[in-house]
Structure 1
Amino acid sequence: MDVIGIEKAVSSRLGCSGGLAGGGWRTLVLLVVAIVTSAAALFASFSSSTGRVSIWFSVPFPVLSFYGDVGSNSSTSWPTLPLSHAPPPLARPLLPLGPSSSPVAAAPPSPSPTASFVASETPPSSAHSPPPDTGGTATPSPTEPVNNSINEAVTINPPSSPSEISNAAEVKVPTSLRETELQLIQAKREIADAPMISNDSDLYPPLFLNFSVFKRSYELMERILKVYVYEDGNRPLCHTPVLGGIYASEGWFMKLMQENQQFVVNDPEKAHLFYLPYSSLQLRTHLYVPDSHSLQPISIFQRDYVNSISAKYPFWNRTKGADHFLVACHDWAPYTTKLHNELRENTIKAVCNADASEGIFVPGRDVSLPETHIRTPKRPDSDIGGRPASERAILAFFAGQMHGRVRPILVGQWRGRDKDMRIYEALPADVARKMSYAEHMRSSKYCICPMGYEVNSPRIVEAIHYECVPVIIADNFVLPFQEVLDWSAFSVVVAEKDIPRLKEILLGIGEERYMTMQMNVKRLQKHFVWHGRPRKYDLFHMILHSIWYNRLNQIPVQ
């Protein structure tokens, strides 16, 4: 740089090109120019050599703090920034959400968030190609948006070493993560680091796989979780809960969710989860053609409903439905998602028919919804309680219709063959006059809960309400809340092939063990009861917690 030339120009500009007495002015100008020039050269050298200076002035704090937790395999969208703006990458190991002994299956990879959209462009619609068995190509619904082309920057993984930084033409810093996603990531870390708790005034720790994890997760759910309930959908298919009968779980959840003021938000940008408020029972009632043996009308409705939401709002497309959930108790609920791939594969499905063998229900993502038979909708928490263990003279009891593959085997093996095994098809009239169905459950040590047409049965919750130890016979059934509850503490699971050995298995349980299990069933009741106004740890909150917990399971923390 020509320092003398700069001095002459400055002197001329100030009108003193002739200099000052004794050269004082010239000396002052030279000194100032030299200082400024040296500082500029030093800053340029430092910035190019470290690549870490100007980042603090150009990246908001939340983005920068998250960048330190993104590894080279991150699927986050990275906008282009100059090389000198790239902080060094840091990587942390994935933190497990629960204990290694948890029955939750390994969660599938979380779908990558879509690239940021240009504000003036329409986000692409969700994919909904039919499965191979539909025999054709999906026809777009009238509400399906046109999939406009989006100019997306190519994602470049952040460099993993200083040498890689120096050789790269550009690197990218994440900006696609929203505040709600950062909150979930932080919550998952806090749950993994939950302090050990051995007792609690409200809960009984032995009922849980890892009580400390559940307690911390539940506390964070109450403090953080926000849910947006879509207003879209015509009644009675949507927003119209059915509160009685054996499918009432979906109706009570819908009612209480729509009335809730703690978790529900009106601003979807603040939501961590999005609720699709349709009723599988209402779909069955109003769309199914009797004797048609076709679920197609229901499947088409669900496909078009999701397509209309994904066209109207940006939220579905941001995660391809991974932060959306449905709550449906009808047996057909898992099968009617087949015409929309993202609904079937990504959305959290809280369903009563939680069969892990069919490839639709995925443990660790989906939620096993307890099937509750509500006989008095005005008082869903009535008709609860049973005799103490010392007054239960019947070893085992079952009465019900011959639905599915298991019940005929059970009744054929045990009906009328053993006075300790009260196994009936329909409860005979002469027996019912002496002791009702409910009284049989209140008076039995073990209540047999075989699957019906599908793996689920309302008898499990009935047994819990009547303080009878449930004996569950349904291979491949994912038990409700089994990501947090230890079902071996209060129930017996018998393989279908062991039905002939049923009495032997039950008699093999010692009296002390039975007394403990029966007392645990009584302690468990609070988690399986509906209330007109939700109470802490009740069935509404347990379902919501499982949805929250499984959503966290899908979020990678690196």
Structure 2
Amino acid sequence: MGADLLKAFPVETRRLLWLIGLVFITVILFQFIEFPKGSALWSLFSRGEVPVPKDLSLVGENSTSLSSNLSSPSVTDTSIISEDRNNSLVGLDEGRNGSLTLEEDPEPGNITELNSSSIDTRKEEIALPPEDNGNLSLAPIEPSVAPLSLPHNVPPNLSMELSTPPPLLPPPLVHVSEKKPKSKIYEKDVLTLSDMSEELIQNYLSPPTMVPRWSSKVDKDLVLAKQLIENAPPLNDGLYAPLYRNASMFKRSYELMEQMLKVYIYKEGDRRIFHRPPLEGIYASEGWFMKQMESNQHYVTKRPREAHLFYLPFSSRQLEEALYVPNSHSHKNLIQHLRDYVSMISTKYPYWNRTEGADHFFVACHDWAPSETKRIMANCIRALCNADVKEGFKFGKDVSLPETYVRKARNPLRDIGGKPPSKRKTLAFYAGNMHGYLRPLLLQSWGNNIDPGMKIFGSMPRSKDNRNYINYMKTSKYCICPRGYEVNSPRVVEAIFYECVPVIISDNFVPPFFETLNWESFAVFVAEKDIPNLKNILLSIPEKTFFRMHMRVKKVQQHFLWHPKPLKYDLFHMILHSIWYNRVFQFRPK
């Protein structure tokens, strides 16, 4: 039978069969050696676990590796990010046995946690700090969320933009100002109000701010708010338009703030410095704002993922009281304390790292606040009493905070108001300590009763409740507000409080709420060099113009008042609105 088979197949056919068999055996042996499971058939047909290389990092299109700035220095586990069929992001955790387990997102809208204790050190750094429970929180990558419902009048292109899902991995942080040349306006020794307005507009059109590392669902609110503010309907009633740069936009922005804004307040901090602000004296603005912000139930949220802004509640006054060494002339320990605080916040929470603090803000009235925060909090929205262009104030980002002198915390509205214009017989009044270089020049030019219409004094004799000082403000047409050691002065708000037209003599001072108010409609600005000509400048103002300015001072007064319980358009809401407004217009979506 064997001979019959040999005759049935030619020699060439037998050789072909042997060759096919040899190839098959070779393939089997090759796969046996190469596949990690040790079985070629298993590797080809198994639906079981997927092999994982030993060195596994976050991968994806245009991926960027993680930093070593995490809490655990040891490296035992690694993690990758995967995208499921529904485009929701989940974590894959590689255990010690080399197998992968799929970790489901426990709640829609929440960020998936990875169970690894640390991640490989990489050259390119993106800090992703751990959550409170000790597990690594993959904060930069959020699952896609349903698009925000839009009003019927929102253009279709905006709707498409808002519904765009976030990228798989966050790109490196980009600071737009690095590409934008510094404005030539700052080359001037003295910036006029027109110069400031020009810079403000330019920074709104092309904001020098951070592009977020990763997208957040609250970003859609900011994009929508900007669109609605820019297309605000004409003002019909409620506000006196001449007081504002654009009354329609201000009203629409204020309404959107009431509807949308959520603020998260950090609870950490040394109690000597954080959460215990002064409520009386010339630094009361930071105290009253902190007190009313922390007790607010409308704007404050306990869920940081829904916050548009993050409040750093430190008191610049209490920082100086607690840490400054008298006569040391050094602020290094104060700056170091703030640096440690920011480091703690950025390590404990992921929110600072998303924008390097661009969606964080603080309110500070001490003269030293600009220099103490210009580096470690440079990206924050800084609400500063010492709003000096030459000290790094950024138009469109920072906020000029009104310096308010509160004499009685129990009754901040005591003695408000003043005489009508017809009964204000004194042309101009000033009294105060000779701080800085400017006030001695003012006293030299107009003090010592040189002119009966110019009541310019040094320190006035003490009287009960400072009655003499208040009476002069209540009966003068113009109240002189010269700078002291720094550009700011509480007399600006005092003049408005007592319905006296403020005369601001302070070069490069950014007046409060500059992004909202039209200051030239109710205040007079005099260059420092023009002090010898001060009386002629005031006399050149027509009487009708003075009456109109006085009326406008009374109307704008509502924006500069502290109330035990905040009221619409009052000082608390104006500060918060300016912070909100700047955040909306400085935000640059991914």
Whether TM-score is above 0.5 comes out as: yes
- Structure 2: any 5+ residue segments left out of the alignment? 1-84, 88-143, 149-155, 170-195
Q: Is the contact made by 1:303 and 1:339 (CA closer than 8 Å) also made in structure 2?
A: no
Report what 2:32 is aligned to: none
Q: What CA deviation, in whole Å up to 9, does each residue of 1:435-482 have, x standing for no partner?
A: 701000000000000001000000000000100000000000010011
Is 1:383 matched with 2:472? no
Report what 1:423 is aligned to: 456
Q: 1:291 to 1:509 in 2, by over 3 A?
A: same
Report what 1:395 is aligned to: 427
Is 1:104 matched with 2:177? no
Residues in 1 aligned to 2:559 and 2:166: alpha-carbon distance in whole angstroms: 41
Report what 1:272 is aligned to: 308
The residue type equivalent to 2:383 in the other structure is A
Q: 1:516 to 1:102 in 2, by over 3 A?
A: farther
Q: What CA deviation, in whole Å up to 9, does each residue of 1:85-142 have, x standing for no partner?
A: xxxxxxxxxxxxxxx977725324321222xxxxxxxxxxxxxxxxxxxxxxxxxxxx
Is 1:62 matched with 2:147? yes
The residue type equivalent to 2:385 in the other structure is C
1:236 to partner: Cα distance: 1.8
Report what 2:385 is aligned to: 352
1:79 to partner: Cα distance: 2.9
Report what 2:531 is aligned to: 499
Q: Is the contact made by 1:381 and 1:531 (CA closer than 8 Å) also made in structure 2?
A: yes
Q: 1:451 to 1:238 in 2, by over 3 A?
A: same
The residue type equivalent to 2:409 in the other structure is P
Residues in 2 aligned to 1:336 and 1:447: alpha-carbon distance in whole angstroms: 31
Report what 2:278 is aligned to: 242
The SS at the match of 1:334 is helix
The residue type equivalent to 1:79 in the other structure is L
Is 1:489 matched with 2:521? yes
Residues in 2 aligned to 1:192 and 1:78: alpha-carbon distance in whole angstroms: 28
Is 1:436 matched with 2:480? no
Report what 1:471 is aligned to: 503
Residues in 2 aligned to 1:401 and 1:529: alpha-carbon distance in whole angstroms: 25
Q: Is the contact made by 1:299 and 1:339 (CA closer than 8 Å) also made in structure 2?
A: no
Q: Is the contact made by 2:210 and 2:588 (CA closer than 8 Å) also made in structure 1?
A: no
Report what 1:78 is aligned to: 167
1:78 to partner: Cα distance: 3.2
1:319 to partner: Cα distance: 0.7
1:422 to partner: Cα distance: 0.5
Q: Which of the numbers 524, 540, 554 marks the counterpart of 1:522?
A: 554
Q: 1:60 to 1:314 in 2, by over 3 A?
A: closer
Report what 1:455 is aligned to: 487
Q: Is the contact made by 1:328 and 1:352 (CA closer than 8 Å) also made in structure 2?
A: yes
- Structure 1: any 5+ residue segments left out of the alignment? 1-55, 81-99, 115-175
Report what 1:84 is aligned to: none
Report what 1:334 is aligned to: 370
1:57 to partner: Cα distance: 7.7
**Which structure has more RCO (C-alpha within 8 Å, separation ≥ 6)?**
1
Q: Is the contact made by 1:279 and 1:328 (CA closer than 8 Å) also made in structure 2?
A: yes
The SS at the match of 1:445 is strand
Report what 2:227 is aligned to: 189
Report what 2:82 is aligned to: none
Residues in 1 aligned to 2:234 and 2:487: alpha-carbon distance in whole angstroms: 35
Residues in 1 aligned to 2:523 and 2:491: alpha-carbon distance in whole angstroms: 12
Q: 1:441 to 1:112 in 2, by over 3 A?
A: same
Residues in 1 aligned to 2:461 and 2:263: alpha-carbon distance in whole angstroms: 48
The SS at the match of 1:370 is coil
Give the RMSD, CA atoms, in angstroms: 2.7
Report what 1:315 is aligned to: 351
Q: Is the contact made by 1:209 and 1:486 (CA closer than 8 Å) also made in structure 2?
A: yes
The residue type equivalent to 1:62 in the other structure is P
Residues in 2 aligned to 1:272 and 1:195: alpha-carbon distance in whole angstroms: 24
Is 1:214 matched with 2:253? no
Q: 1:432 to 1:414 in 2, by over 3 A?
A: farther
The SS at the match of 1:232 is coil
1:434 to partner: Cα distance: 12
The SS at the match of 2:242 is helix
Residues in 2 aligned to 1:413 and 1:101: alpha-carbon distance in whole angstroms: 31
Report what 1:556 is aligned to: 588
**Number of residue pairs aligned between Structure 1 and Structure 2:** 413
The SS at the match of 2:147 is helix
The residue type equivalent to 1:438 in the other structure is I
Q: What CA deviation, in whole Å up to 9, does each residue of 1:475-500 have, x standing for no partner?
A: 00010011110111110010001111
The SS at the match of 1:550 is helix
Residues in 1 aligned to 2:254 and 2:159: alpha-carbon distance in whole angstroms: 28
Q: Is the contact made by 1:363 and 1:478 (CA closer than 8 Å) also made in structure 2?
A: no
1:210 to partner: Cα distance: 0.5
Residues in 1 aligned to 2:375 and 2:250: alpha-carbon distance in whole angstroms: 35
Report what 2:152 is aligned to: none
1:190 to partner: Cα distance: 0.3
Of residues 320-329 and 404-413 in structure 1, the stretch that sits farther from structure 2 once superposed is 404-413
Q: What CA deviation, in whole Å up to 9, does each residue of 1:326-367 have, x standing for no partner?
A: 100010011112452xx12x1000010000112x21111000
Q: What CA deviation, in whole Å up to 9, does each residue of 1:233-272 have, x standing for no partner?
A: 1212101021000000000000000000000000001100
1:61 to partner: Cα distance: 5.3
